[in-house]
Amino acid sequence: MGTGTTADLQGGPREPPAPTRPYRGRFAPSPTGPLHFGSLLAAAGSWLDARAARGEWLLRIEDIDPPREVPGAAEDIIRALDAFGLWWDGDVVFQSRRSEAHVAGLQRLLDLGWAYPCLCTRKSIAAANRRRDRPDDTSYPGTCRSLPPSAAKRTRVVRALTTSEPIEIKDRLQDGFTQVLEMDPGDFVLRRRDGLIAYQLAVVVDDYEQGVTDVVRGVDLLDSTPRQRWLQTLLGYPEPRYMHLPVIVQPDGAKLSKQTGARAVATSDPGTTAWQALKCLGQEPPAELRGAAPVELWDWALAHWSPQHLAGIRNIQMP
């Protein structure tokens, strides 16, 4: 840096992050329901990884999709994290208050020619996929790539231009994960029909502006990572390190989630629940710590934190 090259000024792809950046992690739940056991696991894994590295840990509430939100859920999540002693640094960031930064990111992609307006409907996308003999495909066929910029006046939908180059995600736990975005999901949505900025773009802008170096989250989000990685490349942001933790599944194999009606994690006996969470994270807390206060458990866990026990594991049964 400091030479002021044209590439710097234009913000083209830059070098990968210096490995000396101090660790900064985050937990970024959507307030679509209370903290359940699966999200506690992700929070604890992310918190332990950050604290074991003597790093910072931020809490960001991803409340940018009002139609999916549950009133009071953000407060419930914050209260539960506090009860479990998973304390964060600085103020809680509400993503909904960061729309200016998200819109600036979108504008930058439009200016760089990496995003374009789209006039398609779900129906016209399905028809286009039938025409190219991919009737079951919901991925975007690129129909509006060549629309003139004036088309932007007729729609709020904006898509990212994707690449046919495979994007490989190196993960600390999961096998290399590769996607060819142009094939699947195709040019993805950055701004929705309702005018809201899409999750993928908001996450990328916020992680960058908050200086996040390490993303530790559930493996159910691995599928989003190539899209986020692509946006980071286009915007000239450094690549964070990724660690995708297993997710909790119910006996029928379904992922424990707010959508499947997962119950709020009980905060009445946080020590026992935290002990179970540590077991699920592949750690072996001593039996005598069962039921101890969470802070005591986390102290033990920080001294022994070894996430590599979870290598290659995607699902864990609900204890």
Residues whose CB is less than 8 angstroms from the CB of residue 173 and which lie 6 or more positions away in sequence, other chains included: 243, 244, 245, 307, 308, 310, 311, 312, 313
Q: Answer whether 5's CB lies under 8 Å from 227's CB.
A: no
Tokens of 301: 């866990």
Shortest Cβ 201–Zn ion spacing (Å): 17
Shortest Cβ 131–Zn ion spacing (Å): 14
Nearer to Zn ion, 54 or 122 (CB): 122
Measured from the Cβ of residue 88, the count of other Cβ atoms closer than 10 Å reads 21
Shortest Cβ 119–Zn ion spacing (Å): 5
One symbol per residue from 68 to 107: x for binding Zn ion (CB under 5 A), - otherwise; what is it? ----------------------------------------
Measured from the Cβ of residue 218, the count of other Cβ atoms closer than 10 Å reads 21
CA 226 to chain centre: 11
Piece of the chain touching Zn ion by CB under 5 A; list 115-123, 160-168, 190-198, 309-317: 115-123
Nearer to Zn ion, 48 or 118 (CB): 118
Nearer to Zn ion, 32 or 124 (CB): 124
Shortest Cβ 132–Zn ion spacing (Å): 14
Nearer to Zn ion, 141 or 271 (CB): 141
Shortest Cβ 144–Zn ion spacing (Å): 3
One symbol per residue from 139 to 178: x for binding Zn ion (CB under 5 A), - otherwise; what is it? ----xx----------------------------------
Nearer to Zn ion, 191 or 241 (CB): 191
Shortest Cβ 154–Zn ion spacing (Å): 11
Nearer to Zn ion, 118 or 167 (CB): 118
Nearer to Zn ion, 188 or 208 (CB): 188
Q: How large is the C-alpha radius of gyration of the chain?
A: 21
Piece of the chain touching Zn ion by CB under 5 A; list 34-42, 75-83, 112-120, 295-303: 112-120
190 is a contact residue toward Zn ion (CB under 5 A): no
Binding residue for Zn ion, selected from 120, 190, 203, 274, defined by CB under 5 A: 120
Piece of the chain touching Zn ion by CB under 5 A; list 46-54, 113-121, 183-191, 280-288: 113-121
Nearer to Zn ion, 120 or 310 (CB): 120
For residues 193-222, which are near Zn ion according to CB under 5 A?
A: none
Query: Please, what is the angle between helix 270-280 and helix 294-304, to 10°?
Result: 20
Tokens of 254: 């379904």
Angle subtended at Cα 111 by Cα 202 and Cα 204, rounded to the nearest 5 degrees: 20
Q: How many residues line the site for Zn ion (CB under 5 A)? A: 4
Nearer to Zn ion, 92 or 183 (CB): 183
User: Which residue's entry shows tokens 């000024």?
Assistant: 9
- What whole-number distance in Å separates Cα of residue 313 and Cα of residue 244? 9
Tokens of 298: 């986390």
Shortest Cβ 125–Zn ion spacing (Å): 7
Binding residue for Zn ion, selected from 118, 216, 231, 247, defined by CB under 5 A: 118
Q: Answer whether 258's CB lies under 8 Å from 287's CB.
A: no
Q: How far is CA 318 from CA 200, 276, 291, 300, in A?
A: 29, 10, 18, 23
Q: How far is CA 274 from CA 261, 269, 285, 287, 303, in A?
A: 21, 9, 10, 13, 16
Among 247, 210, 225, 307, smallest CA distance to 42 is for 247
Query: Interface with Zn ion by CB under 5 A: which residues?
Result: 118, 120, 143-144
